[in-house]
Amino acid sequence: MKTILWLAVLATSVGAATLTAAEPYIEAGKRMAEANCANCHNIEPGGDFKLYPPSFQAIAIYMDPQVMRMKIMYPDHAVLMPQFHTFMFTENIDNIVGYIETLDK
């Protein structure tokens, strides 16, 4: 019984540490989104769903993270959306996608 209780406490601690470790990346993703995406997209939690351009909340719910990365790097609407692959690092894209993924809750 003590072993099970200890494992439960350990699992909770590890989960909390993982979330805390991820928070700076999520915050960095939100800052990148504010600087690069918010002029067109609604990037806030609970944002209104709209088709064009989609809110980040809609993207979080309906789009796979790998597709998000591709659409950020090589957007379908190249004329309207910046060509991020010309100036943004992969880490920045991962941070933005990480932020978007937090909005599906």
Buried b (16+ CB within 10 A) or exposed e, 16-51: eeeeeeeeeebebbbebbeebbeeebbbeeebeeee
pTM, full prediction? 0.70
Helix, strand, coil distribution of the chain in percent, nearest 5? 65, 0, 35
What domains can be seen in the chain, in order of their start residue? 25-104 (1.10.760.10)
Per-position pLDDT tens, the chain of length 105:
443 333 333 333 333 333 455 688 899 999 999 998 998 899 998 877 777 888 999 999 999 999 999 888 888 765 677 777 777 888 889 999 999 999 986
